[in-house]
Amino acid sequence: MKFLAAKDRGEITIFGVPFDGTTCFRPGARFAPAGIRFFSENLETYSPALNRDLDDIDFCDAGDLEINALPEDMVETVYSFMENVKIPVMLGGEHSVTFPVVKALKERYGELTVIHFDAHTDLRDIYSGTAYSHACVMRRVLELGCKIVHVGVRSGTLEEFTLIRDNPLLHLVDIKKLPEILENEKNIYFSIDIDYFDPAFAPGTGTPEPCGGTPVEFFSIIYNLPSANIVGFDIVEVSPPYDPSGITQMLAAKVVRELILKFWGG
Amino acid sequence: MKFLAAKDRGEITIFGVPFDGTTCFRPGARFAPAGIRFFSENLETYSPALNRDLDDIDFCDAGDLEINALPEDMVETVYSFMENVKIPVMLGGEHSVTFPVVKALKERYGELTVIHFDAHTDLRDIYSGTAYSHACVMRRVLELGCKIVHVGVRSGTLEEFTLIRDNPLLHLVDIKKLPEILENEKNIYFSIDIDYFDPAFAPGTGTPEPCGGTPVEFFSIIYNLPSANIVGFDIVEVSPPYDPSGITQMLAAKVVRELILKFWGG
Amino acid sequence: MKFLAAKDRGEITIFGVPFDGTTCFRPGARFAPAGIRFFSENLETYSPALNRDLDDIDFCDAGDLEINALPEDMVETVYSFMENVKIPVMLGGEHSVTFPVVKALKERYGELTVIHFDAHTDLRDIYSGTAYSHACVMRRVLELGCKIVHVGVRSGTLEEFTLIRDNPLLHLVDIKKLPEILENEKNIYFSIDIDYFDPAFAPGTGTPEPCGGTPVEFFSIIYNLPSANIVGFDIVEVSPPYDPSGITQMLAAKVVRELILKFWGG
Amino acid sequence: MKFLAAKDRGEITIFGVPFDGTTCFRPGARFAPAGIRFFSENLETYSPALNRDLDDIDFCDAGDLEINALPEDMVETVYSFMENVKIPVMLGGEHSVTFPVVKALKERYGELTVIHFDAHTDLRDIYSGTAYSHACVMRRVLELGCKIVHVGVRSGTLEEFTLIRDNPLLHLVDIKKLPEILENEKNIYFSIDIDYFDPAFAPGTGTPEPCGGTPVEFFSIIYNLPSANIVGFDIVEVSPPYDPSGITQMLAAKVVRELILKFWGG
Amino acid sequence: MKFLAAKDRGEITIFGVPFDGTTCFRPGARFAPAGIRFFSENLETYSPALNRDLDDIDFCDAGDLEINALPEDMVETVYSFMENVKIPVMLGGEHSVTFPVVKALKERYGELTVIHFDAHTDLRDIYSGTAYSHACVMRRVLELGCKIVHVGVRSGTLEEFTLIRDNPLLHLVDIKKLPEILENEKNIYFSIDIDYFDPAFAPGTGTPEPCGGTPVEFFSIIYNLPSANIVGFDIVEVSPPYDPSGITQMLAAKVVRELILKFWGG
Amino acid sequence: MKFLAAKDRGEITIFGVPFDGTTCFRPGARFAPAGIRFFSENLETYSPALNRDLDDIDFCDAGDLEINALPEDMVETVYSFMENVKIPVMLGGEHSVTFPVVKALKERYGELTVIHFDAHTDLRDIYSGTAYSHACVMRRVLELGCKIVHVGVRSGTLEEFTLIRDNPLLHLVDIKKLPEILENEKNIYFSIDIDYFDPAFAPGTGTPEPCGGTPVEFFSIIYNLPSANIVGFDIVEVSPPYDPSGITQMLAAKVVRELILKFWGG
């Protein structure tokens, strides 16, 4: 389908943030926006599962933001860009790119619930010298006062898991509970770290963690969610250098298509 | 086991068609016959699941057909070759190689049902300038008057899915229904596009599509099929350049062994 | 976590045996100890599933043994090294490295049950000219008088499967039976060939065999085992050259962490 | 520098032809236009050797032509596109893409000399079933009545080398003779098959042939050529799937920059 | 030889700085210290060209510094570490790691000449938001008051080349002039960006630039240098993810061995 | 050309020995015979440099010997095979495969000179526990009483280089001296370790060593050798897993073609 070639209109703005400056293990997520777009060329615009077609959706692809090497600057650039975005569909980059988007949305909507698909808690306070590390992104989001629903989290420190247990804004749930949970949330943002999925399905990521979710289960849950109140989403941590067959990038492209069609295609 | 080294006799003829001339996204299927044979060397001849051994089967490996760059010529070459083949076991190449085999079998048997394992409908009329594109192969097969049972199909255009819904020769079924369906078919050909399987299990293919079947389920269904009336099969779209660990080629080799043993090993 | 950086004390000794001299198909397991350690750096020390932390465990990493090219010499080197090891946690290398460890433990404990996770029987008598081939390792273990419980085995010759059926020391069981079986065993050693897992989850191995187990099931069974009487374990046949995304090495690192925490972290 | 981002004006038109449909050995040249552009992003616009800057040149990048799977159609598409191109700078694709460009230029200028950098003669009449095979491209060019100066050719059949010796339009010369030869030519087109270069410098190509030229020598000759009468050039047969380090694509990008600056930057 | 296993004594300290946080194109230099050490295992300690042996040299390998994601912090960490280092042999990391070492040496010796082997000028003032970018490292070194002798530089902006021409501290020389130039320098530091070499010889680097030097020429010049007054050296910008055959890492290991033996082995 | 498809007659026997059992660093040479044959398919049979054609030569390709894991057994297998070979053209495998061929030829001819193209001396007595290690092969050849002419050797221990200096049967010469040297030798065997070439030209080898020879120089010397008295040759240590672009395998295929045409094509 190629996102880039899509009709340039509508309230949905796809944009890429090719940043991986705080990645502690294996960098490469900077190449994800280009990679996901490349694979989206070979994805049909039509979704048989949803019986909807991207050709019927108004959205534009704004391309990639110009990002420099410093995390603070990336946060500022993305935050500024959000001024002109109504419904963000962001292609990371590492997970740190989520913070400025959520910050902008929280200020806009007052109340915001973040559905956090990930293998990792991402709740460290400081990591690798910076508060904007991808290992800290949900800690920053928490400080904004967002409610966070962790789905698929299976790695972290004892401190992080203790924080989840103790902080009333943090919830660790089974993906099967999502439909029920979303019923009652007002403004909902999805942040999908590709390592939520088992490494078999998404090997191309910086820090693969065994025992993740399957795409079949993920989409079957997504298809059964209520569509109201979704204010945007991102997909992050896809790393093309570690995706020799492209299956991770193809999965990410399909996640983007299905979520757009599900949430705004009705 | 190495197919090539097998006993050169019998009615079953393994042959390769190293053609990928219409592949629209990522070529490489031309290297599949060599790749599958290489991996078959490390596969035992004995199947514990079936308690049968390839050493007890009469078959020959005819090697690869000499193919040139033009789809029409490939169709002619394979069709001619079929004159001397009783039971074909074809190693593609891209999916377009299936058409001349099915054409020959349809003419031979009069009635033919094609069990089409695939992620894609492959029902386009013309694609990339040719009616023999791998995206059109099942449309051509349909025009021959074959009944087609699609298994695992999860990608296509709205037009293609509409065609499936409206054309009485086309059936989209869950793999679990196969045993029941095959009971009533007379002459049955299996065409297995490796992208039927989820990309996790078969990453080495030109156009991976998430949410496919698992080998465990596939074989458990196969083992429970009736063996009568099967007139041949192919496995196509394996792409070694995108299979760095070889797991796709190994899976293809095992599919070949198990299907031969299941259908003609009794 | 990086095993190498762990506290250098305790009865548990991690050590690597970078040997793949009898590998018949694709060598590379010699690079596994280094590869697994590299990926262990990016694994947390804390296990949320077990609520235990490697930082609370006494163990040391003795590094890699110096191994030469001959299987007999490797057997001798590992066997000698075992004199000073109380609880071995061995990182292979190919599967042949298991024999000298089991030999030493069998002599030490008198009675020994080997839980053999593998895709292959490994029960050949002689292979590729040597009795110490990785294809023969369980035959050698059997000759020591050990009871062997095969889990996940799905490839072998008719002779090997006949041996399993006929020899009272050999048992082929479903992984779900493990908790029950372990109840009654006295001294138990786990030998985990990474190809036990389906190639989707562990592509980086010399001889991938479709239709293996999943990590989710594996760990859920492990978590429910009785911890008593385990005398050591190994993980073998990881092959970094065929693991471009590192997911196999990461899985191996997690297996090591979870087994240590499960069996000796209580 | 990124060609795509360059000023969109001027008589020089960069365009890509992502076609590799007749490639007999290893396809992949279809990915070259995208690959060369990607690497051009990391190339400076300024050439220290020429003391000229691409920012001072008027040219546009027209992107890639839409090409289908059939060689005849590709020839037609490129030929038609040439109607609107004054000075072509074509990024192949395999070498067959050169024919329609040369055909259009020959018709436009009446007289045309093609400087053919290549490892191979490319003078076969028919190959792999088609007269438009990349192995036949210079035979087709010859039939147009062009003079061809082969540089670097070191592989071919006896028949092809005999043709070069006997046909007055064909010349096989040492690269050092180029400056002298160009003095007397009227309208000159450069067709640069990347396999002109030794595989050490340009490994990413379908059919590498040892004993090629070096980039240092190539550029030193180019810098000393007369700039008049050059009517366009192409660079073909770069194959990104076989260029894991990207050095071939980077070399191609530099060839494009230096030739533009040399021939039209003065 | 494996540097890590060398005798731990002497005034020469090998250390790694696994930092690539400002790399603008393709990250990966963070893996170079580990990669160079891995390949050094397969390099003999004896140099036939110099008839000297590393076993006769007193040096230690201090391992890698712990570095975080921020360029400023890296600079501080390396600078502090230099307090305890007499003769530094640093394994980068990207080129920005050179600045803190040169800063410490400049302060120590008062006068310092940097021999800068590189494809790029690295003289930008600010790049990608930071003054510590690898594209700015020689600008920072210049500001320290060091004389810089550029060798092999063939890429940069017009501004950078103008700076070289105009600033009396900057010299762009042919490698053949080095022996003569070094005669008169007092305290000399070598900073070797691996992309000094032609990409054919050193493909594994982030920003390969065609037309570089050959190892044969490099070593022949090095062997003929005066050995006095060398105060240390570094080798930077090796990028293992883009070095599939390892030849870049092996070249880097040999550079380290030969320079140590040449300068301090007499 | 594909060796395998060549006319099956004549005194020249091509055969492969897929053995790499003593390789100390990176195995993979076992895949070289298959790899070189694959690339030979894309090499013309005609040599423009020699104006000769393989189609005019009588030779056969005997395929690969069946080899097991033990070096002693490999030596025995190859030695026995030599009984039926008049002029051997052996495709290794690692360098240890040379010994049994030379042994057979020495016994046959009484006097034998081995021209040893290599980066390494290969003169160790015992290595990695075996006298048949690839690091010892020329020591074994020396013990047979052969004269050895080392060409390109640039790595080894002090002991090995001392042996070369002191032993009258050993000669280390510049390749330019070869024509002169061969004038006076009676029976000459060429053993070509691919790492003789610089890693830029032959990256696909287990132990690349910088500063090797170029193919252009190699062939220009070969073309000027006297052809008489050559009794066979081998090419060893090509390692396909480290040859992602195939340029090493292509170079090896060309070496085979040119040497056959040069020595026996007149």
Neighbours of B25 (CB within 10 A): 15
Segment A192-221 shows an average pLDDT of: 98
Q: pLDDT band at residue C67, thresholds of 50, 70 and 90? A: very high
Dihedrals φ, ψ of C13, to 5°? Answer: -120, 115
CA angle, F258 then F259 then F263, to 5°: 120
List CB contacts of D103: < 8 A, sequence separation 6 or more: D79, D144
Residues of the binding site of A for Mn(2+): 95, 118, 120, 122, 193, 195
Query: 0.95 cut: is pTM over it?
Result: yes
Q: What pLDDT, on a 0 to 100 scale, did the predictor assign at position C10?
A: 66
Q: What pLDDT, on a 0 to 100 scale, did the predictor assign at position B8?
A: 47
Of the partner residues C25, C210, C244, the one whose CB lies closest to the CB of residue B215: C210
Using an 8 Å CB-CB cutoff, list chain A residues near B155. 43-44, 48
* Per-residue pLDDT tens over the stretch D2-58: 454 444 456 999 999 999 999 989 999 999 999 999 999 999 999 999 999 999 999
Neighbours of F4 (CB within 10 A): 16
Provide the residue type at F47 as one letter.
S
* Per-residue pLDDT tens over the stretch A54-86: 999 999 999 999 999 999 999 999 999 999 999
Of the two residues D184 and F259, the one the predictor is more confident about is F259
Rg (CA), chain B: 17
| Residue F227 tokens, joined | 């052809």
Letter string b/e over residues A140-164, b meaning 16 or more CB atoms within 10 A of that residue's CB: bbbebebbbbbbbbbbbbbebbebb
Provide the residue type at C245 as one letter.
S
Q: How many CB pairs under 8 A join A and E?
A: 44
Q: pLDDT band at residue A3, thresholds of 50, 70 and 90? A: low
Q: What pLDDT, on a 0 to 100 scale, did the predictor assign at position D109?
A: 97
* Per-residue pLDDT tens over the stretch E193-247: 999 999 999 999 999 999 999 999 999 999 999 888 999 999 999 999 999 999 9
Does D266 touch chain E if contact means CB atoms closer than 8 Å?
A: no
> Is the Cβ–Cβ distance between D136 and D144 less than 8 Å?
no
> Is the Cβ–Cβ distance between A237 and A27 less than 8 Å?
no
Interchain proximity E69–A22, CB inside 8 Å:
yes
* Per-residue pLDDT tens over the stretch A128-179: 999 999 999 999 999 999 999 999 999 999 999 999 999 999 999 999 999 9
Burial zone of F41 (CB within 10 Å; 0-12 exposed, 13-18 middle, 19+ buried): middle
Does D254 touch chain E if contact means CB atoms closer than 8 Å?
A: yes
Q: What pLDDT, on a 0 to 100 scale, did the predictor assign at position E10?
A: 66
Q: What pLDDT, on a 0 to 100 scale, did the predictor assign at position F74?
A: 98
List CB contacts of D243: < 8 A, sequence separation 6 or more: D35, D203, D204, D249, F245
Provide the residue type at F89 as one letter.
V
Burial zone of F227 (CB within 10 Å; 0-12 exposed, 13-18 middle, 19+ buried): exposed
> Is the Cβ–Cβ distance between B83 and B162 less than 8 Å?
no
Domain A3-264: CATH superfamily, name plus number: Ureohydrolase domain (3.40.800.10)
Predicted confidence (pLDDT) at residue B4 exceeds the cutoff of 50: no
Do β-strands C113-117 and C46-47 pair in parallel, antiparallel, or remain unpaired?
Answer: unpaired
How is chain B split into domains, by residue range? Answer: 3-264
List residues bridging with C53 in a β-sheet. C46
Interchain proximity E157–D46, CB inside 8 Å:
yes
Q: pLDDT band at residue C3, thresholds of 50, 70 and 90? A: low
Predicted confidence (pLDDT) at residue F190 exceeds the cutoff of 90: yes
Compute the distance between CA of residue D211 and CA of residue F215 in angstroms, rounded to an integer: 6
> Is the Cβ–Cβ distance between D31 and D47 less than 8 Å?
no
Of the partner residues E26, E200, E243, the one whose CB lies closest to the CB of residue D200: E200
CA nearest to B200, candidates D198, A245, E162: A245
> Is the Cβ–Cβ distance between C258 and C216 less than 8 Å?
no
Predicted confidence (pLDDT) at residue F48 exceeds the cutoff of 90: yes
Does B250 touch chain C if contact means CB atoms closer than 8 Å?
A: yes
* Per-residue pLDDT tens over the stretch C136-169: 999 999 999 999 999 999 999 999 999 999 999 9
Compute the distance between CA of residue D209 and CA of residue F43 in angstroms, rounded to an integer: 8
Q: What pLDDT, on a 0 to 100 scale, did the predictor assign at position B10?
A: 66
Does E95 appear as a known binding residue?
A: yes
- Consecutive H or E run containing A153: none
> Nearest CA to CA, how far is F42 from chain D (Å)?
7
Does B207 touch chain A if contact means CB atoms closer than 8 Å?
A: yes
Predicted confidence (pLDDT) at residue C8 exceeds the cutoff of 60: no
Compute the distance between CA of residue B52 and CA of residue B262 in angstroms, rounded to an integer: 8
Kindly give the residue spans of alpha helices, DSSP state H, lying in chain A.
Answer: 32-40, 71-81, 98-109, 137-143, 158-166, 178-182, 215-223, 247-264
DSSP letter, residue F250: H
Compute the distance between CA of residue C214 and CA of residue E216 in angstroms, rounded to an integer: 52
Q: What pLDDT, on a 0 to 100 scale, did the predictor assign at position C266?
A: 80
Give chain F's mean pLDDT.
95
Does F120 appear as a known binding residue?
A: yes
* Per-residue pLDDT tens over the stretch D128-179: 999 999 999 999 999 999 999 999 999 999 999 999 999 999 999 999 999 9
Rg (CA), chain C: 17
Using an 8 Å CB-CB cutoff, list chain C residues near B219. 211
Interchain proximity C201–A203, CB inside 8 Å:
no
> Is the Cβ–Cβ distance between A192 and A252 less than 8 Å?
no
Provide the residue type at A184 as one letter.
N
| Residue B29 tokens, joined | 């299927």
Helix (H, G, I), strand (E, B) or coil at C234: strand
Neighbours of B135 (CB within 10 A): 27
Predicted confidence (pLDDT) at residue F7 exceeds the cutoff of 90: no
Give chain C's mean pLDDT.
95
Helix (H, G, I), strand (E, B) or coil at B158: helix
> Is the Cβ–Cβ distance between F129 and C72 less than 8 Å?
no
DSSP letter, residue F190: E
Give chain A's mean pLDDT.
95
Does C198 touch chain B if contact means CB atoms closer than 8 Å?
A: yes
* Per-residue pLDDT tens over the stretch B190-234: 999 999 999 999 999 999 999 999 999 999 999 999 888 999 999
Predicted confidence (pLDDT) at residue F2 exceeds the cutoff of 80: no
Compute the distance between CA of residue E215 and CA of residue C41 in angstroms, rounded to an integer: 35
Do β-strands F46-47 and F52-53 pair in parallel, antiparallel, or remain unpaired?
Answer: antiparallel
> Nearest CA to CA, how far is F130 from chain C (Å)?
7
Q: What pLDDT, on a 0 to 100 scale, did the predictor assign at position D10?
A: 66
Interchain proximity D155–F216, CB inside 8 Å:
no
* Per-residue pLDDT tens over the stretch F103-136: 999 999 999 999 999 999 999 999 999 999 999 9
List all chains that touch chain A, counting a touch as 3 or more CB pairs closer than 8 Å. B, C, E
* Per-residue pLDDT tens over the stretch F169-182: 999 999 999 999 99
Predicted confidence (pLDDT) at residue F230 exceeds the cutoff of 90: yes
Of the partner residues A154, A156, A203, the one whose CB lies closest to the CB of residue C247: A203
Give chain B's mean pLDDT.
95
Q: What pLDDT, on a 0 to 100 scale, did the predictor assign at position B169?
A: 98
Compute the distance between CA of residue A259 and CA of residue E111 in angstroms, rounded to an integer: 62
Q: Interhelix angle for C247-264 vs C32-40, to 10°?
A: 70
Q: What pLDDT, on a 0 to 100 scale, did the predictor assign at position A5?
A: 41
Q: pLDDT band at residue B5, thresholds of 50, 70 and 90? A: very low
Compute the distance between CA of residue C151 and CA of residue C171 in angstroms, rounded to an integer: 9
Q: What pLDDT, on a 0 to 100 scale, did the predictor assign at position B3?
A: 54
* Per-residue pLDDT tens over the stretch B86-145: 999 999 999 999 999 999 999 999 999 999 999 999 999 999 999 999 999 999 999 999
Helix (H, G, I), strand (E, B) or coil at C201: coil
Q: What is the DSSP string of B27-67?
A: --GGGHHHHHHHHHTTS-SEETTTTEEGGGS-EEEEEEPP-
Our measurement of the distance from residue E251's CA atom to the centroid of its chain's CA atoms, rounded to an integer in Å, reads 13
Q: What pLDDT, on a 0 to 100 scale, did the predictor assign at position E228?
A: 82
| Residue B201 tokens, joined | 């299990």
Q: How many CB pairs under 8 A join D and F?
A: 60
Q: What pLDDT, on a 0 to 100 scale, did the predictor assign at position A266?
A: 80
Q: Tens-of-pLDDT digits for all 266 residues of chain E? A: 445 444 445 699 999 999 999 998 999 999 999 999 999 999 999 999 999 999 999 999 999 999 999 999 999 999 999 999 999 999 999 999 999 999 999 999 999 999 999 999 999 999 999 999 999 999 999 999 999 999 999 999 999 999 999 999 999 999 999 999 999 899 999 999 999 999 999 999 999 999 999 999 999 999 999 888 999 999 999 999 999 999 999 999 999 999 999 999 98
